[in-house]
Amino acid sequence: MANQDAPFGFRQVGGLGSRPTSEGTSKYLINSTQAGDIFAGDVVTAGDGTTKYEGGGTIPYGYIGSSETDAVRNVGIFNGCFYVDPTTSKPTFKNYWPTTTAAEGTAFVYDNPDDLFEVQTSGTLAQTVASRGNDMAYTAGSTINGRSKEEITGAAVAGGQFTMIRKSEDPSNTDLSSANSNWIVKFNEHVYYNYTNT
């Protein structure tokens, strides 16, 4: 049976060793110049003045932004934000960071490098990709519900932002003979793991 093509970004499902997840997030700053939506379930990356966010522009040190495919300074998975709306001066909590926000904001991020995430693939992946690398495939999310539509690519890569752990147990998306199967993944390239900070 074909899988459902319904990407949802990266959804936290636990941690290595089957430890229970606290579903805890950490706070990071979003720069007022972040000119691109960041959706709940999107990969975010730490800026270094040269790292680009999805859609162009660069992220300065001390801030996070939407990650590009192949980015190595990944921080985690975005889970909403808080900012003071520059137009209304009202404190605002949102599922996603709107590109039009001309203010600094606080992002809530699943940043534990041992967290596991469920994600859909944009192509067909066989069981032989387990324990190999993969990169995210960026697609803009929904401004209606604030959810991501990011996926992982349809081919294993050397290194890669993520390590493929196993296929998901979602009965609607476990057919490895067709596109859009769901997988459990872990960060491979992460600022707190497997990366030399500068």
pTM of the model: 0.90
pLDDT above 70 for 198: no
Statement to judge: residues 59 and 122 lie in one domain: no
d(CA 189, CA 197): 12
Statement to judge: residues 101 and 86 lie in one domain: yes
Statement to judge: residues 95 and 49 lie in one domain: yes
* Higher per-residue confidence, 39 vs 12: 39
pLDDT above 90 for 133: yes
> Distance of CA 190 to CAs 92, 105, 195, Å?
29, 22, 6
178 in any annotated domain = yes
Could you tell me the pLDDT band of residue 4, with boundaries at 50, 70 and 90?
confident
Domain end (from 79, 110, 141): 110
Dump pLDDT digits (tens) for 84-101.
Answer: 988 899 999 999 999 878
Domain end (from 62, 93, 110): 110
Is the separation of the CB atoms in 189 and 74 below 8 Å?
Answer: yes
> Which residue is listed with tokens 């959706």?
39
33 in any annotated domain = yes
Statement to judge: residues 127 and 61 lie in one domain: no
> Which residue is listed with tokens 């050397």?
158
Q: Is the torsion defined by CA of 60, 162, 117, 196 positive or negative?
A: negative
pLDDT above 90 for 195: no
